[in-house]
Amino acid sequence: MPEISVQNISKSFRDVKAVQGISFEIERGEFVGLLGPNGAGKTTTVEMLEGLRRPDSGHIFIQGKTWDRNERDLRKIIGLSLQETRFAEKLSIRETLRLFASFFDLGIDNVAEVIAMTGLDAKADAMVGSLSGGQRQRLALAVALLNSPQVLFLDEPTTGLDPHSRLDLWNILKTLKDKGNTTLILTTHYMEEAETLCDRIIIIDDGQIIRTGQLNQLLDPDTRNLDELFIKLTGKQLHAQNDER
Ligand SMILES: Nc1ncnc2c1ncn2[C@@H]1O[C@H](COP(=O)(O)OP(=O)(O)O)[C@@H](O)[C@H]1O
Ligand SMILES: [Mg+2]
């Protein structure tokens, strides 16, 4: 049984068809990147997988379970970090993590563990309001990791970060991958991120999958990288000129 099975899901917002019949399967322990430009439907897709939005049609199975029937079970095994998560500015990192740990009935051992994993030890007692963008993203990841999730969803974990902070985050995720206990879906519009972290890449545009595969299967002699492949498939740039947010 695949860890995640997505069968022909669609979602519209009034007249906007955000997701139009997406299907894929993910094996346990795989790291998969949903790659596409802004507005492609990445967030809508992961929000349906996270049980935050109901598809208009189609089915989602995580470890064979569905959000309709098994929400409590699924909440225990998934971790998530939303696009642009905000935390209370006046709580420290440790206080923020203790708060989230209490929601899961977890103790301070879990808090110490995720602080160490995300390299936030030195900043643990600093207020969220004083953190850099990279530190905030690491806190969002720490929250997502609190319950040692078997399935992790990260929506644009490094958007807007400087190259150094982006590398820090990639290294944390590589360590997680090497442990082999986690299945990851991340969304990104950075092809280097997909190339560096993901076993498999699903390219999305206009709410549909336009190509999926391992990096070496996707590239051919005329396309040296995913940016070029995207232009070849759609005639569009993956990166709009001014899409840094
Ligand atoms: N809550 C919403 N209400 C109306 N339109 C939405 C909403 N969320 C997303 N959309 C639209 O759906 C499309 C896909 O958006 P989204 O899933 O956020 O794409 P991405 O994450 O790839 O940038 C876009 O056209 C977006 O404007
Ligand atoms: Mg998005």
Yes or no: say if 182 and 150 are a contact pair by the CB < 8 Å rule.
yes
Shortest-distance Cα residue to atom 7 of ligand 1: 13
pLDDT for 204 = 95
Residue 2: CB atoms within 10 Å: 16
Bridge partners, 45 (sequence order): none
Of the candidates 136, 119, 192, 150, the residue with the CA atom closest to the CA atom of residue 30: 150
Q: What is the CA radius of gyration of the chain?
A: 18
Q: Which residues have CB less than 5 Å away from ligand 2 (the ion)? A: 42-43, 83
Q: What is the dihedral of CA 163, 166, 171, 172, to 10 degrees?
A: 160
> CB neighbours of 112 closer than 8 A, spacing ≥ 6?
none
Give the residue-averaged pLDDT of 228-242: 75
* Residue 21 confidence (pLDDT) above 60: yes
pLDDT tens by residue, 213-233: 988 888 877 788 878 888 888
Q: List, chain by chain if needed, residues with CB within 6 Å of any ligand 1 atom.
A: 13, 16, 18, 36, 38-44
pLDDT for 170 = 96
Predicted confidence band of residue 138 (pLDDT cuts 50, 70, 90) = very high
Residue 92: CB atoms within 10 Å: 18
For residue 83, give the ligand 1 atom closest to its CA. 21
* Residue 241 confidence (pLDDT) above 60: no
Q: Look over the chain and give the mean of its residue pLDDT values, rounded to a whole number.
A: 92
pLDDT for 218 = 84
For tokens 């004083």, name the residue.
130
Task: Give the ligand at the shortest distance from the Cα of 44.
Answer: 1
* Residue 59 confidence (pLDDT) above 70: yes
pLDDT for 164 = 93
pLDDT tens by residue, 88-119: 999 999 999 999 999 888 888 999 999 999 99
Question: Percent of the chain beyond pLDDT 90?
Answer: 78
- CA–centroid distance, 14 to ligand 1, in Å, is 11
* Residue 244 confidence (pLDDT) above 80: no
- CA–centroid distance, 237 to ligand 2, in Å, is 17
- CA–centroid distance, 221 to ligand 1, in Å, is 34
- Among 19, 44, 185, residue to substitute to test ligand 1 (most atoms within 8 Å of Cβ): 44
Task: Give the ligand at the shortest distance from the Cα of 82.
Answer: 2
What is the phi/psi pair of residue 143, to 5°?
-60, -45
For residue 45, give the ligand 1 atom closest to its CA. 17
- CA–centroid distance, 112 to ligand 2, in Å, is 30
Predicted confidence band of residue 240 (pLDDT cuts 50, 70, 90) = low
pLDDT for 217 = 84
Yes or no: say if 141 and 182 are a contact pair by the CB < 8 Å rule.
no
Yes or no: say if 114 and 145 are a contact pair by the CB < 8 Å rule.
yes
pLDDT tens by residue, 28-49: 999 999 999 899 999 999 999 9
Predicted confidence band of residue 120 (pLDDT cuts 50, 70, 90) = very high
Shortest-distance Cα residue to atom 25 of ligand 1: 39
Predicted confidence band of residue 163 (pLDDT cuts 50, 70, 90) = very high
Question: Percent of the chain beyond pLDDT 70?
Answer: 98
Q: Which CATH architecture has domain 4-234?
A: 3-Layer(aba) Sandwich (3.40)
pLDDT for 243 = 47
Instruction: Report the Cα–Cα distance between both ends of the chain, in Å, rounded.
Output: 38
pLDDT for 146 = 95
pLDDT tens by residue, 172-223: 999 999 999 999 999 998 888 998 999 999 999 999 999 999 888 888 777 8
